[in-house]
Amino acid sequence: MYLKIYDQWRFLIIGLAFFLVLFGCQSANYPIDFEQLGEDERIVIRFSHVVGEDTPKGLAARRFAQLIKERSNGLVEVQVFPNGFLYKDGEELEALLQGDIQMIAPATSKVTSLIPEWSVIDLPFAFNSYEEVHQYLAGSAGQDLISKFDGKGLRMLGVWDNGFKQISNRDHPIYDPKSLQFLKMRIMPSDIIHKQFSSLGAIPREIDFNILFHHLESGDVDGQENTLSNITSKNLYLLQNYITISNHGYLGYVLLMNNQFWEELPDHIQVLITDTLKEVSEWERETAHNLNAKKLKELEACQCIDIYHLSPEERRSWAEEFQPVYDYFIERFGTKYIEALPKYQR
Ligand code: SIN
């Protein structure tokens, strides 16, 4: 008799628990803690990038991973591999296409090997502000560039800013473009950046971001161009005596996912990723802008490097020097992408 009552209670409790789980499943998207599942039962997104964790991209990648984990109760895990630990500059795009990793955020310059038209973004003095870049990408030329990822096995999920590039070197101050002559300059892989320096008599050399410090240290190259957050995060400024705040080129990132992986994700996970990235992208942009401004103040305060700011007139005369680079772009891709640049819309 006692056993029967005990059994009735037991079934009641199990039934109630089952009902709660079922009810919970319908009332919230992810009521269960999926962290206990094995890696093959969860959705794992390996996100590889080449910069430090204290950079705009590094910070945003971690925030994205954190929010996705919380919002999916551990069902989706974004594993972030910073500093090129997993794949270096020249390797990560190939690894993504092969499906060895699922997500990367390379600088736009680094996708020009796959889609050369993206090098329009590298044209010197093409943009004066972040807003101009965002508007360009939202317009028809930008949308055309974005659509070029379709059919390449890639899904583009957004753009993150880093900042505008500055020019540093070890040998002498750069007040005008001609002073770049004969300087060996590290560049990202982009024909337009190559042309930007070679047209002035400088000697451009493609070098992976992660080993740039050693190449500057050994004197293989004399200088480089980059954003202040990148220059400081890798201590590059310690090997350079001069920096010109030229803001001559935009450095931002395209968020790319392997398209087959994306297509196989359940719809609600795609929505979760899209919504979360939208939110993180807004945060990333603000973080990037603030971080670069903060790094400039820190460099000014440290008095460890000679800083020269181009005036608005100097920017205008520098921009004129780069007409051959624009002509080179037009020879290859016509005028469509160039004409849509804000400087030709004013
Ligand atoms: C990055 O910001 O991802 C690296 C940029 C560079 O290679 O200079």
Q: What is the DSSP string of 141-190?
A: HHHHHHHTTTTTTEEEEEEEEEEE-EEEESSS--SSGGGGTT-EEEE-S-
Inside any domain, residue 7? no
**pTM, 2 dp:** 0.89
Tell me how far the alpha carbon of residue 238 lies from the centroid of ligand 1, in angstroms. 18
Task: Indicate if ligand 1 lies below 6 Å from the C-beta of 162.
Answer: yes
Give, for ligand 1, the residue of 50, 88, 205, 255 to mutate: max count of ligand atoms closer than 8 Å to Cβ. Answer: 50
Inside any domain, residue 2? no
> What is the residue range of 35's domain?
28-344
What is the structure's pLDDT at 307?
A: 98
Nearest protein CA to atom 8 of ligand 1, as residue: 209
Inside any domain, residue 1? no
Beta carbons of 214 and 168 less than 8 angstroms apart:
no
Task: Indicate if ligand 1 lies below 6 Å from the C-beta of 202.
Answer: no
Task: Give one word for 63, left, alpha or beta, with left for phi > 0 and alpha for psi -120 to 50.
Answer: alpha
Inside any domain, residue 46? yes
Inside any domain, residue 178? yes
Tell me how far the alpha carbon of residue 104 lies from the centroid of ligand 1, in angstroms. 12
What is the structure's pLDDT at 1?
A: 43
The count of domains in the chain is 1
pLDDT along the chain (346 residues), means of 10: 46 40 42 66 95 96 98 97 94 97 98 98 98 98 96 96 98 97 98 98 97 98 98 97 98 98 98 98 98 98 97 97 98 97 88
What is the structure's pLDDT at 7?
A: 47
Inside any domain, residue 3? no
- Burial class of residue 30 in the structure, from the number of CB atoms within 10 Å of its CB (0-12 exposed, 13-18 middle, 19+ buried): middle
Tell me how far the alpha carbon of residue 87 lies from the centroid of ligand 1, in angstroms. 13
Which ligand 1 atom sits nearest the alpha carbon of residue 89?
Answer: 7
What is the structure's pLDDT at 41?
A: 79
Which ligand 1 atom sits nearest the alpha carbon of residue 106?
Answer: 3
Inside any domain, residue 8? no
What is the structure's pLDDT at 30?
A: 54
Task: Indicate if ligand 1 lies below 6 Å from the C-beta of 112.
Answer: no
CATH at residue 173: 3.40.190.170
What is the structure's pLDDT at 345?
A: 86
Which ligand 1 atom sits nearest the alpha carbon of residue 110?
Answer: 7
What is the structure's pLDDT at 17?
A: 38
Backbone angles phi and psi of 162, in degrees to 5: -110, -70
